[in-house]
Amino acid sequence: MAKSVDYSLYLVTDSTPAILGDKDLVAVVKAAVEGGATIVQYRDKTSDTADLVRIAKELHSVTKPANVPLLINDRVDVALAAGVEGVHVGQDDLDLKSARQILGPNAIIGVTANSEEEALVAARDGADYLGLGTVFATPTKENTKSIIGTVGVQHILSSLASQGHDVKTVCIGGINAGNTQRVLFQTASPQKKLDGVAVVSAIMASERPKEAASKLQSLVKQPPPFA
């Protein structure tokens, strides 16, 4: 049974000065949630374990009252220790089945997939959602394995549908207010469309994260003008 989670505007955090600037991480996430982010992933590649748990708990204190799930990037142990709703794992992280064993059936577990094969395996193994991408090249994550474009995302969605998988999907990489509607439109097939878009810099780098989230949320919900 699919969990009832709104993936429409998925915020992935970034605490690096190049993106966050001198803003406060928790304040930005709070503003983004107020603006319309529906799910948040705490992604932090530099803090030590104790800080990760502490910051995750702080973020949870702003996401939980809003009923917005908080997931932790990479680290199942941190998700467990902080008592958040789930994790997002990449292909090189703890495997999905082990993450599920540790966190249990109610946890939200997402997996990065940038090929049809990765997507089908993760769907088969019980991922709640897939993060598809990288869609467009982005300075936020330079060492991405491959840029798959909207064509690549559409291909994966079609093969998931043809194999009967109802796993939820978002895409990530270079998504912003200027291309959100086009991405949703160009990746959709009659059988399956994205459940949302995932963004880092479009919200985290904004001086007005609440407005940035609100704009993105309205774009995700509106049919594109060229449909």
77 near Mg ion (CB under 5 A): no
**90 or 126: whose CB is closer to Mg ion?**
90
Would you call the peptide bond into 134 cis, given omega within 30 degrees of 0 as the criterion? yes
CB of 180 to ligand TZP, least distance (A): 11
Give how many residues touch Mg ion by CB under 5 A. 3
CB burial of residue 58 (10 Å; 0-12, 13-18, 19+): middle
For residue 185, the number of C-alpha atoms closer than 13 Å in the C-beta half-sphere is 11
Q: Cβ 117 to ligand TZP, closest distance in Å? A: 18
* φ/ψ of residue 84, rounded to 5: -90, 180
Q: Select from Mg ion, ligand TZP, none the partner in contact with residue 90, using the beta carbon and a kind-dependent cut-off of 5 to 8 Å.
A: Mg ion
Closest by Cα among 189, 191, 209 to 200:
209
Q: Which of residues 38-97 bind ligand TZP (CB under 6 A)?
A: none
Q: Is 169 in the site for ligand TZP (CB under 6 A)?
A: no
Q: Kindly state whether residue 95 participates in binding Mg ion, applying the rule CB under 5 A.
A: no
Distance CA 45, CA 14 (A): 9
- Asked if 93 interacts with Mg ion (CB under 5 A), we say yes
Site string (183-202) toward ligand TZP, x via CB under 6 A: ----------------xxxx
* Shortest Cβ 183–ligand TZP spacing (Å): 11
Judged by CB under 6 A, the stretch of 2-10, 25-33, 139-147, 212-220 that binds ligand TZP is 139-147
In the set 47, 81, 90, 145, which binds Mg ion (CB under 5 A)? 90
Q: How far apart are CA 168 and CA 154, in angstroms?
A: 14
What lies within 8 Å, CB to CB, of 227 at 6+ separation is 185
| Contacted by 74, from Mg ion, ligand TZP, none: CB < 5 to 8 Å by type | Mg ion
d(CA 121, CA 38): 26
DSSP string, 133-164: ---S--TTSTT-S---HHHHHHHHHHHHHHTT
The residue range among 14-22, 87-95, 151-159, 202-210 that interacts with Mg ion, by the rule CB under 5 A, is 87-95
The letter for the amino acid at 175 is I
Residues that bind Mg ion (CB under 5 A): 74, 90, 93
Residues that bind ligand TZP (CB under 6 A): 12, 133-134, 138, 140-141, 144, 172-175, 199-202
